[in-house]
Amino acid sequence: MDALSLGFSPCPNDTFIFYGLIHGRVPTSGLTFRERLEDVETLNGLALAGALDICKVSYHALGYLRDRYCLLRSGGALGRGCGPLVVARGGATLADLRGKPVAVPGRFTTAALLLRLADPAIDTLVYMPFHEIMGAVARGEVAAGVIIHESRFTFRDYGLTQLLDLGEWWEGETGCPIPLGGIVARRDLGVETIIAVEQALRSSVAFAQANPGEAKAYIRAHSQEMSDEVCAAHIDLYVNDFSLQLGPEGEAAVIELFSRAEAAGVIPPSDVLLFPSL
């Protein structure tokens, strides 16, 4: 079999997780991979175009991908205390945002989905790369922004305040951890290949957790603008037991998110089995 195309982001949690897989440090059942690192919304677009065999995508995007891709149980970002934040300049409130432009890090990001579920009246969304949002809010180009990734740790440096933690809102509403991004595989790869990829990915997560220092150079090569402290905080926040295996709690959280998004008309309904099964 030719090398499988594999897309993930340059964020520290992804490079940490995929290091072992990419660098031959775990068994892969003879499979080889061709990596492509892109920002999350670019990855969503590539998956929507069917351009990658395996891809990290936002769960929002997966709502449109279920006929073509299945969800792997390892390698994703799902947890507690790690949701997107709504931030604004001082003095603003959530009610102030209705009818005003609010920046989100892409149409198909889970951040955009959560904002629509939390307050449908905030509906004037402006899509921009995640790393541009804080500056746009600070300059007054938008009324507020929904921030993700390492922006959680640096928004105060821009003089911004937090209006809402969308992960905290989700956990309060549902009791579930928040599904942010998952790893998907093209269904036409065949179930046996997909299961082998899932097992290799689980091994890669386990390798990273057991050898946290080995991937440091690879992580830093793709996150040069971050300090070591922010890189470490990023990994600690987004890599957890759910990254190794979703388990019943994680799977239930994903199903709950899709159920609510379908009921709100944000994603189309689907009755296709979400996970691979022999």
Among residues 60, 234, 84, 260, the alpha carbon closest in space to that of 163 is found at 84
Q: What is the pLDDT of residues 35-80, one digit of tens each?
A: 999 999 999 999 999 999 999 999 999 999 999 999 999 999 999 9
221 known ligand binder: no
How do 54-58 and 144-147 pair as beta strands? Answer: unpaired
With respect to CATH, is domain 85-174 assigned 3.40.190.10? yes
Q: What is the pLDDT of residues 176-198, one digit of tens each?
A: 999 999 999 999 999 999 999 99
φ and ψ at residue 74, rounded to 5 degrees: -130, 155
Q: Is the pLDDT of residue 278 over 70?
A: no
Q: Lay out the sheet containing 144-147: strands in order across.
A: 125-127, 102-104, 144-147, 85-89, 160-165
Residues of each domain in the chain carrying CATH 3.40.190.10 = 4-79+178-263, 85-174
100 known ligand binder: no
205 known ligand binder: no
The counts of H helices and E strands in the chain are 12, 11
CB 21 within 8 A of CB 33: yes
Give how far Cα 59 sits from Cα of 25, 108, 187, 233, 255, Å: 28, 8, 17, 22, 10
Give the CATH superfamily of 4-79+178-263.
Periplasmic binding protein-like II (3.40.190.10)
**How many CA atoms lie less than 13 Å away from 69 in the CB half-sphere?**
27
111 known ligand binder: yes
Burial of 24 (C-beta count, 10 Å sphere; 0-12/13-18/19+) = exposed
What DSSP state is assigned to residue 84?
-
Give the largest Cα separation in the chain, rounded. 58
Q: What is the pLDDT of residues 197-228, one digit of tens each?
A: 999 999 999 999 999 999 999 999 998 777 88
Among this protein's residues, is 149 annotated catalytic?
yes
Amino acid 1: pLDDT:
73
Amino acid 230: pLDDT:
83
**CA of residue 39 relative to chain centroid, distance:** 10
Interior/surface letters 199-229, b for 16+ CB within 10 angstroms, e for the rest: bbbbbbbbbbbeeeebbbebbeeebeebeee
CA dihedral of 121, 122, 127, 128, whole degrees rounded to 10: -170
What DSSP state is assigned to residue 3?
P
| Candidate list 131, 149, 222, 234, residue with the active-site label | 149
57 known ligand binder: yes
Burial of 172 (C-beta count, 10 Å sphere; 0-12/13-18/19+) = exposed
Average pLDDT for the chain: 94
Q: What is the pLDDT of residues 107-149, one digit of tens each?
A: 999 999 999 999 999 999 999 988 899 999 999 999 999 998 7
